[in-house]
Amino acid sequence: MNRFLLPLTIFGIMVGFLAVGLTLNPREIPSPLVGKAAPIFSLPQLHDQDKVFSPDDMKGQVWLLNFWASWCSGCRTEHPVLMDLAKSGAAPIYGVDYKDQRGEALAWLDQWGNPYPIVAVDAAGKVGIDYGVYGVPETYVIDKQGVIRYKQIGPLDDETVEKKILPLVKELQAK
């Protein structure tokens, strides 16, 4: 009996580690940008190409910055959630159209609806790099001082919005 006890214990510990490992998502890499000032950029707008959008315009507001693209299937999954969030008026969602074709992006928004007051165009993906984007969709919650408070990697879902985004937005707005 005793000689099986040790291997069995080791086996149990291994199973424990592997079980926890299975529940983790290797794509979720903690961003070093949370708690830091949102990188500054100035990008042309999708609808009105002569105008630019910059995070500086948003100082004093709590807002969401959502990187998306018409070629991204996760963005399609996430889209109804963004529409609901935009309709609720909890916080404005500004979009960055990441490495996309203008015509396709416009058609995409026409077809599925536009939750964004303004969409900025990051055709070369340079701003994406500054924000540490490695897979669209990614969403940032930015506070009144322009500091990133939260980063969502991958599509937002109702649960994340309810449990993380909305409480955080409320807390930041109260400050």
Sites of contact with another protein (CB under 8 A): 26-27, 29-33, 99, 124-126, 128-132, 134-135
Nearer to another protein, 91 or 139 (CB): 139
68, 96 contact by CB (below 8 A): yes
Shortest approach of another protein to residue 71 CB, angstroms? Answer: 10
112, 68 contact by CB (below 8 A): no
> DSSP character for 163?
I
| Residues pairing with 53 in the sheet | 43
Shortest approach of another protein to residue 144 CB, angstroms? Answer: 23
For residue 123 the two structure tokens come to 């055709």
Nearer to another protein, 34 or 166 (CB): 34
Nearer to another protein, 80 or 132 (CB): 132
For residue 174 the two structure tokens come to 């109260």
Nearer to another protein, 51 or 126 (CB): 126
139, 152 contact by CB (below 8 A): yes
Shortest approach of another protein to residue 3 CB, angstroms? Answer: 11
For residue 39 the two structure tokens come to 């990188």
Shortest approach of another protein to residue 128 CB, angstroms? Answer: 8
Angstrom distance (rounded) from CA 79 to CA 116: 11
